[in-house]
Amino acid sequence: MNADKPSDLKALGRDSPIPDHPEPKLLERVPNPQSGTNYLVRFTMPEFTSICPVTGQPDFAHLVLDYVPGKWIVESKSLKLYLYGFRNHGAFHEDCTVRIGKDIEKLLSPIWLRIGGYWYPRGGIPIDVFWQTGSAPEDVWVPDQGVPAYRGRG
């Protein structure tokens, strides 16, 4: 569902069940109130979970999503519900991280987007996954994602 105006939103202000799988149709967008101005939006998701497709055990990540909006911004409750859908979804770290970035890129057509997936160790090895759409605009302040190299994240 891609809302063209706030009144078209399906999740915001309504009871919304937790999805059992990641469904891009849950993602909603609204018009960018600062369209024409380059600025950065950051979502930090320190408790992201998915399921290992081989062992069925839970995987945990700290995700950081940065984007420079064009005409649209993502509605945050719909993003939260979409991300909840990964809790019972079996996929590798790389697939989850890149899929989220691509789904949001498809929804918004942002000027720029990047996602960092800082995954907690599986089998003793942390796996960090990074994806972006290109170079950030020169006139936008893009701070470091603030997640240190693995030394026992918290």
Where are the domains positioned within the chain? 6-132
| Averaged pLDDT for residues 121-146 | 94
pLDDT range class, residue 138, cuts 50, 70, 90:
very high
pTM for this model (two decimals): 0.90
Distance CA 154, CA 69 (A): 29
Residue 131 pLDDT class (50, 70, 90 cuts): very high
- At residue 124, the pLDDT reads 83
First to last CA, the chain: 34
> What is the residue-averaged pLDDT of the chain?
91
Catalytic (active-site) positions: 52, 59
Residue 15: pLDDT band (50, 70, 90) is confident
Topology (CATH) of 6-132: GTP Cyclohydrolase I, domain 2 (3.30.1130)
CA distance 21 to 96: 12
